[in-house]
Amino acid sequence: MEKTTEKYLAALKKDLARMRIYAHALGILNFDFETCAPRDAKENEGDTISFFSNEYFKIATSKRMKEATVYLNAHKDELCELDRVLVCYLYDDYKKTKNVPPKTQLRWSKLFNKAYIDWYNAKQKADFSLFEESLSNVLEISKEDVSLREDALPDFYDNLLNDCEKGMLTRDLDAFFSELKEGLIGLISKIGASKHVIRTDFLSRKVPIYKQEQFSNYLLELNGYDMNKGYLTTTEHPFTSNISENDARVTTHYYEDMFLSNVYSVIHEGGHAIFMQNEPREDFEHFINDHVTNGMHESVSRFYENVIGRSEAYIHLIYPKLRELFSEELGDVSERELYEAVNVVTPSLIRTEADEVTYGLHIVIRYEMEKMICSGEISIKDVPKKWNELYKQYLFVEPKNDSEGVLQDVHWSGNFGYFPSYALGNAYNAMYLKKIKSDMDFEGAIRRGDFGAINAWMRENVFRYANVKEPKDWLKTLTGRSLTAKDFIEYLTDKYSKIYNF
């Protein structure tokens, strides 16, 4: 390595180390903002977050960082593989932010924080009008952001999709969602024609929250989540926060009369956290940790939640503990009845509560909505009306209010383009499910509770290259194939034909 290259790399990593400290502090502040901060304190806390976010941004866009990034990008051949990956990430960020002044970033940050507060208040009051202005601001910020980028993609929405899932654009997703939608509609039709009746009366029984909390901790530890490097608490919309190398926090939301909501929220968010806790050590050393795309992350969280968590083997594994903790509430429920109930297929309003089969249509709706919003085909004020129309068209249900409709998800208070990641995650994990089954006795390991073996396979195959490769290359390396919805439809068909006897 030339001395000049060595000098720039050392200076770059010194600034990245400072940025990591700011990022750590921001992670704690943001976690507090979305969990335990008093409602009346959120505006002040949001201002503090905006301040530190702006200080972080100033370092990231400083003259010294820009010079180092541009120089090192031109001399990548002198760097080791992981440092080349780092410089590629930084150069992409440089092209996106080089024309964004710190004062503009500060304004955006404050508007995003206000959007979260407005979304939260609007959801509590089931009144979209309280969020309408902020949603308009989010859209305008996104447009302004893209307009300032060097080498922005021609299509506005493609830029937002590419931010969330590198290399996956509308041309890819239109084909993918067309294949997915066709397969799901056909499968839902077969399930609807089945005469098999699944018992669900016990799903709405009241289960004390303190018992649910005990079960949540049991599930997280069972699946391999390291409680010495994590923390579980509650929030309005569950999320996982990657605060630092040894701090991956999980949140959930408890409902006394919907105990399964928490069960699968915890397993899902725990999947994200297990991914975070198992990133390769060298990725942290080279500052490329936490560059996993949203689709990769969702593939893992939904793998634990559904492929594992709703499997017959997993229900067999956790059934004794469930009977022990919930003997009064669920003592009359058999293991088979529980398995069928956690997999019952019923078109519903709430995405996070949806079954595996109809879930994909919730994402189809959001993808189509985002395309219409970003193209200007519909105005912001007409978003609730269009949302309700699509739910009636695809799922034959209609929201009674905005809270169970367009306000149910937090995502649009921060960006557009994330939602397709959930469907991509399902497709990714259905593809690597075939590989794990060929490499080990996967169902046997679940039945035995051998998550040491399962998580070791995930580390070696799924987690290992996630920070290094773009989604298409990562998927090709992992499965040897390109993206398809076919494996996911086959997985669902095989599973649900046995449950519904068709």
**Which active-site residues does the annotation give?**
269
β 240-244/230-234 pair status: unpaired
Alpha carbon distances (Å) from 337 to 170, 190, 198, 497, 499:
41, 21, 7, 16, 11
CB neighbours (10 Å) of residue 10? Answer: 10
Distance CA 158, CA 86 (A): 23
Distance CA 423, CA 179 (A): 12
List b or e across 233-249, with b for residues whose CB sees 16 or more CB atoms inside 10 angstroms.
eebebbbbbbbbbebbb
CB neighbours (10 Å) of residue 196? Answer: 10
CB neighbours (10 Å) of residue 192? Answer: 10
Helix axes 420-439, 451-458, angle to 10 degrees: 110
β 230-234/247-252 pair status: parallel
**DSSP 8-state class, residue 306:** I
Distance CA 295, CA 487 (A): 16
Give residue for tokens 């990231």.
60
Alpha-carbon dihedral 16, 19, 24, 25, rounded to 10 degrees: 160
Which residues have a Cβ under 8 Å from the Cβ of 220 and sit 6 or more positions away?
Answer: 227, 230, 232, 250, 266, 270, 273
Three-state helix/strand/coil letters over 342-384: CCCCCCCCCHHHCCHHHHHHHHHHHHHHHHHHHHCCCCHHHHH
Q: If we measure between CA atoms, which residue out of 82, 74, 65 comes closest to residue 12?
A: 65
Record the tokens describing residue 436, joined without a space. 């794990």
Q: What is the CA radius of gyration of the chain?
A: 23
